[in-house]
Structure 1
Amino acid sequence: MEIERINENTVKFFLSYNDIEERGFTREEVWYNRDKSEELFWEMMDEINEEAEFEVDGPLWIQVHAMNKGIEVTVTRAQTSEDGELEESPFSGDDSKKPFRPNIEVLDDSEENATIGPGGTMEWLENTFYFKEFEEVIMLSSRVKEYNVTTSLHSLEDIFYLHVLYDAPDMDDMQKTDLYSVITEFGTASNVTIHRLEEYGNVIMESDVFTQTDSFFGTP
């Protein structure tokens, strides 16, 4: 595990999937088993407290950034106003490190069994993938037309970027994982945000990337 102390209230750590397995957890448990993911998190916080002297003494803002080889987690002590209300998340807005998989929530260790966020779980919201050749997008589109997601296709510096927004209310994490697995057979998960693509890239398809691509370029 790699630990970086950002400032007095913020610490960041990277945990590879090998690190996770060496600690007795699986990748699936981290994403789908709430008790296991919280157990791993608190183990990491104990280790971080020993190495970086980052003590947990109240609510926390947590940013989880999924990567190809592991997860990057940024933890910030939540600040409160004079009336005791939590201030807004430090990760909001167009932060280039805003997570593409789980939503940002508050974690409070004041209770024996800590919960993540007002909804109790982390929510996997979106992903961006890149493709070196448009042919890879064509091959992918014939495989994933049935998934109900919002998509857009962009180009930036001669690379194709697919943005996927999991906004279907009936789509669970298992379905998202299935789609993620299929897409990464052809493309690669990217840290480039949709905000950067919209500002600096070119829009190739604003929506329905899979359906449009397969309709125009797929095999009859």
Structure 2
Amino acid sequence: MEIERINENTVKLYISYIDIEERGFDREEIWYDRERSEELFWEMMEEIHEEDEFLNEGPLWIQIQALDKGLEVIVTKAQLSKDGQKLELPIPDEKHGEIPIDHAIEDLLDQNFQVNHYGKSKHKFEYVFEFRDFEDLLSLSKNKNLDEQIKTQLFSWNNVYYLHVQFPEELFDEDDINNSLSILLEYGKESNITIHRLVEYGKNIIEKNVWSTLNQYFE
């Protein structure tokens, strides 16, 4: 993947279809499967952050152009106005003026990619958290407010522990998920590494029931 910094708020990258397929993605599904396309996007954003220190916090404006042998993607960080109520998007002023931030985010959700407070699509029910200190993971497992119905897996990769959590849609509503995420974020941080990448490159330490398994072996 080739990365070019345009300015402080914008980067341009090129990724070939061969590179996309080598990452485990089908060339067609990235256009028709929103979840898979988001997974590919966040993998690319993680690489951009590592190589160029481009922070992907807050709303992003994504422009994608399909070329003969790959994709050209331009990523721009949307800027809040000084009062914090307006979202300035990287498109000509005559097309939008200043758009209220809540409306702008809803509009952008209909584009190829967009993020919410936790950096994932609006109706996401699974996340990956990373822990560089195993003690933080142990402390998390002892938190009595964690719901045992959360599905969990634990991986290690490059000396970092990755916790994959899933919230069954039939058991958790948005408030339940947000409450659980608040607890998880007290001990670790959300990662842009996808579960597909962990399965392929990481080591699966605990297949399921991470909380109870850790408490069983580390009282």
TM bin, normalised by shorter chain, reads: 0.5 to 0.7
C-alpha deviation, 1:15, in angstroms:
4.3
Equivalenced residues, count: 143
Q: Aligned pair 1:141/2:110, yes or no?
A: no
C-alpha deviation, 1:10, in angstroms:
7.5
Looking at structure 2, the residues matched to 19 and 205 of structure 1 have their Cα atoms a distance apart, in angstroms, of: 45
- In structure 2, the residue matched to 1:199 is 200
TM-score (norm 2): 0.54
Unmatched segments (≥5 aa) in structure 1:
26-35, 46-59, 72-100, 103-121
Cα 1:157–1:146 shift into 2, 3 Å: same
TM-score (norm 1): 0.54
Looking at structure 2, the residues matched to 10 and 163 of structure 1 have their Cα atoms a distance apart, in angstroms, of: 28
Cα 1:198–1:146 shift into 2, 3 Å: same
Cα 1:211–1:37 shift into 2, 3 Å: farther
> Which of residues 104, 108, 113 in structure 2 aligns to 1:63?
113
C-alpha deviation, 1:170, in angstroms:
2.3
Unmatched segments (≥5 aa) in structure 2:
1-58, 67-71, 88-99
C-alpha deviation, 1:167, in angstroms:
1.5
2:150 and 2:166 in contact (8 A); partners too? yes
Looking at structure 2, the residues matched to 123 and 171 of structure 1 have their Cα atoms a distance apart, in angstroms, of: 12
SS of residue matched to 1:63: coil
- In structure 1, the residue matched to 2:64 is 6
- In structure 1, the residue matched to 2:167 is 166
- In structure 1, the residue matched to 2:105 is 41
What is the 5 A alignment of 1:1-220? 3-7=61-65, 12-15=75-78, 22-23=84-85, 39-41=103-105, 60-66=110-116, 71=119, 101-102=120-121, 122-143=122-143, 144-218=145-219
SS of residue matched to 1:146: coil
Looking at structure 1, the residues matched to 160 and 117 of structure 2 have their Cα atoms a distance apart, in angstroms, of: 19
2:153 and 2:208 in contact (8 A); partners too? yes
Looking at structure 2, the residues matched to 21 and 183 of structure 1 have their Cα atoms a distance apart, in angstroms, of: 31
Looking at structure 1, the residues matched to 61 and 111 of structure 2 have their Cα atoms a distance apart, in angstroms, of: 17
Looking at structure 2, the residues matched to 66 and 139 of structure 1 have their Cα atoms a distance apart, in angstroms, of: 27
SS of residue matched to 2:187: coil
SS of residue matched to 1:22: coil
Looking at structure 1, the residues matched to 180 and 82 of structure 2 have their Cα atoms a distance apart, in angstroms, of: 23
Output the aligned Cα RMSD: 3.4
